[in-house]
C-alpha cells in the first residue's frame, strides 16, 4: 500500500503524476498500446490495502506479466513485495513474467532498502529488477518496454513436420534475457 503502483501506471499510460494520488479501491483498469513492440497492455492496478488482498487472484490469474512494486524508503514494503512474489509463484500463471520495481528512487536520501539487496533477491527469483521513480519519470517506460519485448508472441502456424521436430519462432519467454535496468 502506498508504494506507488497507481502512480507508475498513470505515469506509463498518461504521462501524469500526482503528489496526492488517492489510494486505489478494489482495482483500476487501464490500457496502453506500444505500437513498436506490437503489444497492447491491459493493466489491472490492484489495491494495496490489506482488506482487498482476497480480490487479487481475480486480477493476476491468467495475467501474462506482473509488476511487483515496493517503496525503497520502506523496508516493510519490500518484505510485503517478497510475499507477493511468493504468492504469484504459487498461484499465478506459471509462465507469468515478473518485474520487481523499487519505486520512489527520487527519495534515495531516505533509502531503507539497498539496491544490492533487491537486485540479488530479483536475480535469485528470476525477476527483472529496476529502481523507478513515477515522480521524476525514471525507468518507468523501461520496466514496461522490457516486459513488452519478452512477452511471448502467438507463433505463426507451422507446416506439418514429418521429422518430429517442431520449429518455433522464438525461444520461450523464460529463456530470453531480461533487458530491464538491473
Ligand X SMILES: Nc1nc2c(ncn2[C@@H]2O[C@H](COP(=O)(O)OP(=O)(O)OP(=O)(O)O)[C@@H](O)[C@H]2O)c(=O)[nH]1
Nearer of residues 4 and 92 to ligand X, judged by Cβ: 4
Residue 106 is a binding residue for ligand X (CB under 6 A): yes
Among 15-23, 58-66, 80-88, 169-177, the segment contacting ligand X (CB under 6 A): 15-23
The binding track of 29-68 with respect to ligand X, each residue x by CB under 6 A or -, is ------------------xxx-------------------
Residue 13 is a binding residue for ligand X (CB under 6 A): no
Residue 83 is a binding residue for ligand X (CB under 6 A): no
Nearer of residues 28 and 151 to ligand X, judged by Cβ: 28
Residue pair 181/142 in contact (Cβ under 8 Å)? The answer is yes
Among 104, 118, 127, 173, binds ligand X (CB under 6 A): 104
Among 81-89, 103-111, 120-128, 143-151, the segment contacting ligand X (CB under 6 A): 103-111
Give Cα 92 to chain centroid, integer Å: 13
User: Cell numbers at residue 104, please?
Assistant: 520512489
Residue pair 4/22 in contact (Cβ under 8 Å)? The answer is no
The long-range contacts involving 51-60, CB below 8 angstroms and separated by at least 24 positions, are: 52/25, 52/26, 52/27, 55/26, 55/27, 56/87, 57/91, 59/27, 60/88, 60/91, 60/92, 60/93, 60/96
d(CA 155, CA 10): 31
Residue 92 is a binding residue for ligand X (CB under 6 A): no
d(CA 182, CA 172): 21
Give contact residues for ligand X (rule: CB under 6 A): 1-7, 18-21, 23-24, 47-49, 103-104, 106-107, 133-135
Amino acid at each position: 500500500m502506498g508504494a506507488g503502483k497507481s502512480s507508475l501506471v498513470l505515469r506509463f499510460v498518461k504521462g501524469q503524476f500526482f503528489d496526492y494520488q488517492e489510494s486505489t479501491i478494489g482495482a483500476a483498469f487501464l490500457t496502453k498500446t506500444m505500437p513498436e513492440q506490437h503489444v497492447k497492455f491491459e493493466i489491472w492496478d490492484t489495491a494495496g490495502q490489506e482488506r482487498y488482498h482476497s480480490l487479487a487472484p481475480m486480477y493476476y490469474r491468467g495475467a501474462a506479466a506482473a509488476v511487483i512494486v515496493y517503496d525503497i524508503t520502506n523496508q516493510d514494503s519490500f518484505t510485503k513485495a517478497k510475499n507477493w512474489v511468493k504468492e504469484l509463484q504459487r498461484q499465478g500463471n506459471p509462465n507469468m513474467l515478473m518485474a520487481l520495481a523499487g519505486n520512489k528512487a527520487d527519495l534515495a536520501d531516505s533509502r531503507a532498502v539497498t539496491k544490492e539487496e533487491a537486485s540479488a533477491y530479483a536475480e535469485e527469483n528470476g525477476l527483472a529488477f529496476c529502481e523507478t521513480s513515477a515522480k521524476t519519470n525514471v525507468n518507468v517506460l523501461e520496466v514496461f518496454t522490457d516486459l513488452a519485448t519478452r512477452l511471448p508472441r502467438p507463433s505463426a502456424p507451422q507446416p506439418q513436420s514429418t521429422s518430429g521436430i517442431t520449429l518455433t519462432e522464438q525461444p520461450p519467454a523464460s529463456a530470453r534475457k531480461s533487458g530491464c535496468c538491473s
